[in-house]
Every structure is written in structure tokens, then in C-alpha cells.
Amino acid sequence: MSLNRRTEALPIAIFLVLALAPVAASFGAETYLLGLFTRVMIYGIAALALDFLCGYGGLVSFGHAAFVGIGAYTAAIFGAHGVSEIAITLPVALIVSALFAYLTGTVCLRTKSVYFIMITLAFGQMIYFVAGSLSPYGGDDGLTLPLRSTLFGFPILENDRALYYAVLAFLLGSYLLLRAIVASRFGRVFRGSKENPTRMATIGFDVFRYQRVAYVIAGCIGGLAGFLLANATEFVSPSYMSWQRSGELIIMVLFGGIGTLHGAIVGAAAFLLLEDMLGGVTENWKLIFGPMLVLIVLFARGGLLGLASSIKERLSRG
């Protein structure tokens, strides 16, 4: 897993495409396309955080949508009380996500493998039902945001294009941050804990504590995604944190290529765009999507990124 020879071309291309997409969109159904790509990037942020946990730490969380929901509900609940100031709501969203990650992580990280998957799922479902029972905030029906977040009173996200670029900036920031963490001292310990926790303990690392910090980092980034999602859709509901959402995030990570970070963005894009396109063809789009996913997992172990590089290899071999 050499970090030195990481190919930079693909991540740069991904961000270039995302930066230029609004220009292309202005020739078509602009509002619709901007909305779609904003959602792609928001789920990209959530999937990045999950790839950090699964791909680098071996921690397959089946409850990651909980953090998306927490971030979204923080924005919406503040909105319901007339507070839309980013300088207040975003830090609170991150702190609540971090707290939830710290508390549940303390329990979840005592378990391994399939038990970890099940217990993260359980916590995810717990928060899902809590959100559904918040009757002052819409209960199962969810609630609408009165307006998008403002910064120091200015409605900077009111324009769809402005929101798009704000989300892009957060995606780029999350990507660069996680990349730096993966290569850092902390990241090395975290990656080592995936490879061989016993060895890591016997050379002097308290694996649990490092994993918990990583879980909190991933939780915060998930919360950030939720905060942005609430702004993009101007609506939140418990369905944001249902277990299906958590499953979709895992699918995005696998689909794009686990353990690469930028693969998670590709996976989120592929998933949501396919959903959009296939959804236009038939209501039962998952009938088509399901087999595609199976094929990708069976024949392209590294997801779409792995598929692309193995095709490239074959072509260059002639």
C-alpha cells in the first residue's frame, strides 16, 4: 500500500469535472442537474468518511447514515427555532455527531467483525426511531427547513450554484483532510490496527483509543454531510438515517473502490446517477442495479476504480 506512487490524475480529474459541471448544466435542465450533483457530492462526503473507516481501519459500520441524520436534524431543529446561522448550527452539528460517535464507538469498538456491523446497525436504528418519535419536529413525516443556512446573517447558500460550490469546497476539504490523516502518524497506527491489532498492542498502541478517535472523525464528517443535505433538500426526515441509507453508503464505497478515498466519490456518483437514470426507465430500477452490483463485486474487486485500472493494464499489454 505505497502512498508514494499514488496516482494523482484521477482525483484531480474528479474534482475538475465537479468544478465544471455547473457550466455544463447551464445548457440543460440547470436546477435539476445542479440538485443531482449537489446530492452526489454530499453523499460523496459521507461515503469518504465511511471509506476511511472500512477501507483503512477495517471497521465496517452499518450505521453511518445515523451521522448524516444527526447533522441534518441539527440544521432542521435549529431552523424550526429560527436559527439558521452557520457559525452556530454547523459547529453544533459536528459536536453532536462527535458525541454520538464517541459514546456509541466506546461500545461498538469493543466488538469485532460481524458483531461490530450488527451493533453499529443497532445504534443506527435506535437513532432512526428516536427521530421518528420527535413529534414536535414532524415525527415520521419529517420537517421542512424555513430557509437555508446563513453566514453572519447573509443568505450565502440561497443560490443553488453557491450551494453547489460550497458543497464542493467541503468535499474537497474532507478529501484532503482524510488523505492527510491516512498518511499521518495517527493514520499509520489506524491502518496498522486493521492489519494486525495484536501486534499493534504488543508494540505499545492502545488500539481501541485510536479506533475511537477515527470513529469520531468519520462521525463528524458524516454529520457534515447531513448538515449539507438538509440545506440542499430543505427538508429532513427519519428516512435519512434508515438502515437502507447506511447500506447504500457501503454500496457506494464498494462500488467505487474501497480504501482509495476518491473511489468513494466515484461510487457515490455512480450510485446516484444510475439510480436517477434507471429510475427514469423503470420504477423497479433496483432489479437492474442489483445484478450490476453483484457483477462489480464478483469481477472487479477494487470496484469501478479497480475495473478501470485492470482494463488499462490489459490494453497496455496489447
Partner 1 sequence: MAEPVLKIDNLRKNFGGLVVTDGVSLDIHAGELHAVIGPNGAGKTTLINQISGTLAPSDGRIYLNGADITTLPPDRRAHLGLARSFQITSVLPRFSALENVALAVQARSGSSYQFIGRADRESALNDAAMAALTEVSLDARADVLAAHLSHGEKRALELAIALAMQPKLLLLDEPMAGTGPEESERLIVVLQRLKGRFAMMLVEHDMNAVFALADRISVLTYGRILASGKPAEVRADPAVMTAYLGEELE
Residues in contact with partner 1 by the rule CB under 8 A = 1-4, 180-181, 183-189, 191-192, 195-196, 198-207, 210, 213
Give the span between the Cα atoms of 64 and 224, in whole angstroms.
12
Minimum distance from CB of 250 to partner 1 (Å)? Answer: 22
Give the span between the Cα atoms of 161 and 20, in whole angstroms.
11
Closest of 299, 18, 14 to residue 179, by C-alpha:
14
Looking at residue 158, what DSSP letter applies? S
CA 59 to chain centre: 15
Cell digits of residue 31: 436546477
**List of E strands, 108-244:** 143-144, 235-236
Region of residue 85 (left: phi > 0; alpha: psi -120 to 50; beta: else): beta
Question: Which CB sits closer to partner 1, 112 or 129?
Answer: 112
Question: Which CB sits closer to partner 1, 203 or 281?
Answer: 203
Cell digits of residue 308: 478501470
Residues whose CB is less than 8 angstroms from the CB of residue 172 and which lie 6 or more positions away in sequence, other chains included: 15
Question: Which CB sits closer to partner 1, 102 or 289?
Answer: 102
Question: Which CB sits closer to partner 1, 1 or 281?
Answer: 1
Minimum distance from CB of 39 to partner 1 (Å)? Answer: 29
Q: Cβ(253)–Cβ(33) under 8 Å?
A: no
Minimum distance from CB of 176 to partner 1 (Å)? Answer: 10
Minimum distance from CB of 96 to partner 1 (Å)? Answer: 21
CA 156 to chain centre: 23
Closest of 132, 159, 164, 135 to residue 147, by C-alpha:
159
Question: Which CB sits closer to partner 1, 4 or 135?
Answer: 4
Question: Which CB sits closer to partner 1, 52 or 128?
Answer: 52
Minimum distance from CB of 203 to partner 1 (Å)? Answer: 4
CB atoms within 10 A of CB 315: 8
Half-sphere exposure of 38 (CA within 13 A, CB side): 27
Minimum distance from CB of 59 to partner 1 (Å)? Answer: 16
Give the span between the Cα atoms of 94 and 212, in whole angstroms.
16
Question: Which CB sits closer to partner 1, 199 or 312?
Answer: 199
User: Which residue's C-alpha cell is 465511511?
Assistant: 50
Cell digits of residue 146: 424555513
Question: Which CB sits closer to partner 1, 12 or 180?
Answer: 180
Minimum distance from CB of 193 to partner 1 (Å)? Answer: 9
Minimum distance from CB of 7 to partner 1 (Å)? Answer: 17
User: Which residue's C-alpha cell is 436534524?
Assistant: 73
